[in-house]
Amino acid sequence: MTRLPRDLPIVERDVVRLVVRDALDRILLFHTREITAPELGQWWELPGGGIDPGENHRQAALRELREETGITIEEEQIGAPNWTRDGSFRHRDVRHLQHEVVVEIRLAGPGPDIDDRFRLDYEKEDYFGFRWWPITEVVTSTDQFYPRRLPHLLTCFLDGETIDEPLEVWT
């Protein structure tokens, strides 16, 4: 069983992660880094964020997608939260423990460019690029991802399988 490190103060929260899939069968990933820990390198990450008090995961998905990408959608475009996971990582001298649900968002057309005007300041520093990845390239990539097992679980998730992933201590 993986244990949560006790190396930093812990912030625990509920989170929604988004597999944003366009009409060309590509998913949106952010190229990111932890500026206070350059030794971690760079990785590709699913969009998403915290579920605010009073929100459910669908409301948070709509808000997070708009804030991080500028993309607005209808609630009907959000799939079921059939992937659940706990993830932990260091970020800005805090250890995060996140209880995550992952949902698919289907776009009717090709993925647009990203509008980051509504991002938080730290997100503008951490996310330095984005890419609409063909699903087949994610599955075969040797790049680093968050969640780490994204390449292995993506096809199952998109096929509607239920995934209950144990704690991943990412950093």
Interval 24-63: pLDDT, tens: 999 999 999 988 888 889 999 999 999 999 999 999 999 9
Residue 2 pLDDT grade (very low, low, confident, very high; cuts 50, 70, 90): confident
What is the overall mean pLDDT for the chain?
94
Predicted pLDDT at 117? 86
By DSSP bridging, strand 145-146 and strand 83-91 are unpaired
Q: Is 150 exposed, middle or buried (0-12, 13-18, 19+ CB in 10 A)?
A: buried
Answer with the residue of higher pLDDT: 12 or 124: 12
* Averaged pLDDT, 135-146: 97
Residue 12: how many other CB atoms lie within 10 Å? 12
Predicted pLDDT at 112? 96
**Structural Rg of the chain based on CA atoms:** 15
Long-range contacts of 137-143 (CB under 8 A, 24+ apart): 138/27, 138/29, 143/43, 143/44
Instruction: Name the least confident of 62-71, 95-104, 116-125, 147-156.
Output: 116-125
* Length of the chain in terms of residues written: 171
Q: Is the pLDDT of residue 171 over 90?
A: no
Residue 161 pLDDT grade (very low, low, confident, very high; cuts 50, 70, 90): very high
Question: Which residue has tokens 């292995």?
Answer: 152
Q: Is the peptide bond before 147 cis (omega within 30 degrees of 0)?
A: yes
